[in-house]
Amino acid sequence: MKTLFTWRRTLLGLLAAGVIGQCSAFSFGGAEEAVLIPPPTLDEVTQSHRETAVFAGGCFWGVQGVFQHVKGVKNAVSGYAGGAANTAQYERVSNGDTGHAESVEVTYDPSQVSYGALLQIYFSVAHNPTELNRQGPDTGTQYRSAIFTKNSEQQKVAQAYIAQLDAAHSFDKPIVTKLESFNGFYPAEEEHQDFLTEHPSYPYIVINDLPKVAQLKQLYPERYQEKPVLVKGQL
């Protein structure tokens, strides 16, 4: 965990200095293959045109980047959930002892994309829900697979969907995603917002995250929008 954190901070510094170009000089494993899965049989019922959901699935750069390309999503903010406000900083969270997970708060219009549809993309494209306390090259509880449910309806839909996917053996291994009670979301530092869009040649993004956006477009073309919904200017 410490080693990866050091690498990421070093690469951020090199990026800021204009040293890093394409990803050929660095390798952080590779992107997970997306799995095409059916939509949930149970979905939310709401008349609202604005709802929020919070998902954790590894490094927030990629999760944010995926949801920013989903039709009906109005905003997707990288941040921290699961811990206290006074430890919601990148350096502290990266130690893995704050209770926080790198997370993304998604604001969406249920008349355009339902909570169930967001869950389908979350499980299928945004991350691998069978990896425990890790995603690809990132390890630690801060990279856990978790859904921070904001009400009983979200809890019910997410719980039913996990049971549905496990019963259908949609993945090679059981889903380890935890449903956690929402106790606050804290936006990450500005340098982490819109990271995929602003740094498409950054090695980590090229290897781990751009393939996720491509898989979203390929597997769910009806959900995909070419122009991402960006955070900066909205916070």
Domain ranges in the chain are 48-219
Question: Measured in whole angstroms, how far is the alpha carbon of residue 19 from the centre of its chain?
Answer: 27
pLDDT range class, residue 26, cuts 50, 70, 90: very low
pLDDT attached to residue 32? 73
Please say whether the beta carbons of 54 and 105 come within 8 A. yes
Superfamily designation of domain 48-219:
Peptide methionine sulphoxide reductase MsrA (3.30.1060.10)
Residue 187, SS3 per DSSP: strand
Mean per-residue pLDDT for 5-17?
51
pLDDT attached to residue 12? 56
Distance between CA atoms of 223 and 235, rounded to whole angstroms?
Answer: 25
Per-residue pLDDT of 30-42, as tens digits, reads: 667 899 999 999 9
Annotated catalytic residue: which of 15, 59, 205, 216? 59
Residue 78, SS3 per DSSP: strand
> Is 4's pLDDT higher than 50?
no
How do strand 138-139 and strand 134-135 relate by DSSP bridges? antiparallel
Q: Both tokens of residue 199?
A: 């740094």
Mean per-residue pLDDT for 48-73?
98
Contacts of 142 (CB under 8 A, 6+ apart): 93, 94, 96, 98, 100, 101, 102
Mean per-residue pLDDT for 6-17?
51
Higher pLDDT, 210 or 21: 210
pLDDT attached to residue 10? 53
Mean per-residue pLDDT for 149-153?
96
Mean per-residue pLDDT for 102-122?
98
59 catalytic? Reply is yes
Mean per-residue pLDDT for 133-160?
97
Which pTM does this prediction carry?
A: 0.88
Distance between CA atoms of 199 and 203, rounded to whole angstroms?
Answer: 9
Distance between CA atoms of 59 and 8, rounded to whole angstroms?
Answer: 11
